[in-house]
Amino acid sequence: MAGLKLTFYGTRGSIPVPGPSTMKYGGNTACLDIKSDDGDWIVFDAGTGIRALSEEMDLSKGHDIHLFISHPHWDHISGFPFFTPVFIPGNNIIIYGPGTFEKTLEEIIRGQMTYSYFPVRTEELNAKISFRELKEETFEIGNFKIETTMLNHPVTCLGYKIYYKDTVFIYLGDNEPFYNVYNDNDSEVDNIANDMNNRLLNFVKGADTLVTDSQYIPSEYESHKGWGHSTTHDSVNLAINAGIKKLFFFHHDPQRTDKQLDFIVDHYRKRMKEKGYNLEIFGAMERHTYDV
C-alpha cells in the first residue's frame, strides 16, 4: 500500500465553535491535507482550520502549496486571510476550485480581502498567488492524479478524487443526495435524481478512504432538507455501496458536542459489526493524522 497521510485541521461546518464541549473533535471550520511519502501535498479548503495548519509548517522555507477549495461558502474560505504563508515571500500558492454564476474563484477570494472586510488586500500579500478555476475534469499534480465531480449544494461545489499509486482518497466537502425537489412523484424527475446519485456512487466506488459531509443525523434532516448537507445514514450507505474501507464523518454540525459525536460514531461502529460490514468509521478530529 502506498504511503499517504491524512491530517485534519478543521472539521466543523457552518461556523467555528471553539469551547469546552468541542475540544476533542475540534471547533474550526473545514481544512485538511494529504501528504505522500514522495513529498506530494494537497490542502483542501481554507476554513478557520487553515490557520492551525500554518502553525505546523516550517515557515523559514519556501513552499509550493496546492490549495483546493470545494466551494466558496464562508466556512470554507474565511481562514485564508489568516494563513501565514500568504504573507511570506518565496511561497507559491495555487488556489483551485469552482467559481459561481456570480463571480470567478479569483474574484471571490480577493473579494473577501477588500479593505472593507480586511486590512490587507491580496495585492499586498508577499507570496505568489495564482488561481485555477475548475469544472469536472482530470489532471495531475506531481504523483497525484486528480478527478473532480459536481456535488449537490446551494452553490457550485466540487468533490475531489485523488489517485496516488495504489491508493485512492476522496473528499466530498458539502453534499446532499439528489432528490425530486418538487416532491410531485414525477417519475422522470425521480429518475434524474437517481441517475445523479448513481453517478456520485460510481465516482466514489472502490476508494480506500472517504471524507464526507455528514452534518445531520436522520431525525434532523427533514427540517434541513435542501440545505445541501448529508446525514450520517447517507454517508454510511454511500460508503458501503461503494466498497469504501475508511469513512470519516466530517463537517460536524456546530451544535454537536464531543459526547454526541462519540455516541454517533460508536453507534455506527456497532451497527457495522452487527451487520458484518468491513467498514471502519471515524469522526474527523482536528490535529489528528491517519493512514489513507
Spell out the domains of the chain, with CATH numbers in brackets: 4-286 (3.60.15.10)
Tens digit of pLDDT at every position of the chain (292 positions): 569 999 999 999 999 999 999 999 999 999 999 999 999 999 999 999 999 999 999 999 999 999 999 999 999 999 999 999 999 999 999 999 999 999 999 999 999 999 999 999 999 999 999 999 999 999 999 999 999 999 999 999 999 999 999 999 999 999 999 988 877 777 888 899 999 999 999 999 999 999 999 999 999 999 999 999 999 999 999 999 999 999 999 999 999 999 999 999 999 999 999 999 999 999 999 999 999 9
Cα–Cα distance for residue pair 12/214, rounded to 1 Å: 10
pTM, two decimal places: 0.96
**Cβ(241)–Cβ(1) below 8 Å:** no
Q: Reading across the β-sheet that carries 128-133, which strands appear in turn?
A: 128-133, 92-97, 64-68, 41-44, 31-36, 4-10, 289-291
